[in-house]
């Protein structure tokens, strides 16, 4: 929302959660996983680019696979309002969650380090909602489906049953 919380964190912090419920917050992978296990769940990503372009995508059947890798599982995203739908969240499906201290992506280099964040990286990503906020020198907080070359001003991830 405003860069007040640094999202460049280790795996334990992402697992347990951090931030402020009244501002920028990461709920925690173990809590997200627990909520998603309680029934059919969908996830929605909402974004606004630095150029004021807005977009969202909604994906059904959201869950994080049991175990400590928190592998992303989503159904085909529907209700996709993106300028570039091919650069959507589907690309990250079936990927484990990676951080700078736990490299689980498919790249030789650690994507969490090169993108200064943590995410379900594959061979890179089109989305980095946990990246460095508003920084032009590092591939930071972005969603290429909203603005292929621009950064995000705001982003949120919401789940519901």
Q: Is residue 143 part of a domain?
A: yes
61 and 40 Cβ atoms separated by less than 8 Å: yes
Q: Is residue 128 part of a domain?
A: yes
Q: Is residue 4 part of a domain?
A: no
Q: Is residue 93 part of a domain?
A: yes
The arithmetic mean of pLDDT across residues 24-47, rounded, is 95
Global pTM reads 0.91
- Residues 56 and 50: their CA atoms lie apart, in Å, by 15
The arithmetic mean of pLDDT across residues 103-132, rounded, is 91
CA distances from 161 to 28, 37, 42, 74 (A): 18, 10, 6, 13
Q: What is the pLDDT of residue 27?
A: 96
Residue 95 has pLDDT above 70, yes or no: yes
Supply the range of the domain harboring residue 69. 11-160
The band of 138, judged by pLDDT with boundaries at 50, 70 and 90, is: low
- Residue 153 has phi, psi (to 5 degrees) of -90, -40
Average pLDDT, the chain: 90
Q: What is the pLDDT of residue 89?
A: 93
The arithmetic mean of pLDDT across residues 103-122, rounded, is 92
Q: Is residue 115 part of a domain?
A: yes
Q: What is the pLDDT of residue 80?
A: 86
Contacts of 42 (CB under 8 A, 6+ apart): 58, 59, 60, 61, 62, 159, 160, 161
Residue 147 has pLDDT above 80, yes or no: no
Q: Is residue 94 part of a domain?
A: yes
Q: Is residue 148 part of a domain?
A: yes
- Residues 109 and 111: their CA atoms lie apart, in Å, by 6
Tokens found for residue 122? 């594959």
Residue 117 has pLDDT above 60, yes or no: yes
The arithmetic mean of pLDDT across residues 18-27, rounded, is 93
Q: Is residue 19 part of a domain?
A: yes
Q: What is the CATH number of the domain that holds 102?
A: 3.90.215.10
Q: How many domains does the chain have?
A: 1
The fraction of the chain above a pLDDT of 70, given in percent, is: 94
DSSP letters of 88-143? SGGGGTTPPPBBTTB--SSSSS-HHHHTTS-B--BSB-SEETTSPTT-TTTT-SEE
């Amino acid at each position: 929302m405003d860069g007040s919380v640094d999202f460049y964190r280790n795996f334990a912090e992402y697992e347990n959660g951090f931030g402020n419920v009244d501002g920028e917050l990461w709920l925690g992978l173990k809590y997200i996983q627990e909520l998603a296990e309680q029934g059919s769940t969908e996830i929605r990503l909402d974004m606004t680019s630095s150029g004021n372009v807005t977009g969202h995508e909604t994906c059904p059947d959201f869950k994080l696979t049991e175990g400590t890798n928190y592998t992303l599982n989503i159904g085909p995203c529907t209700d996709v309002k993106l300028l570039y739908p091919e650069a959507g969240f589907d690309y990250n499906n079936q990927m484990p969650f990676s951080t700078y201290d736990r490299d689980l992506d498919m790249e030789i280099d650690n994507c969490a380090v090169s993108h200064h964040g943590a995410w379900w990286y594959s061979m890179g990503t089109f989305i980095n909602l946990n990246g460095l906020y508003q920084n032009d020198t590092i591939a930071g907080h972005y969603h290429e489906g909203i603005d292929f070359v621009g950064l995000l001003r705001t982003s949120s991830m919401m789940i519901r049953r």
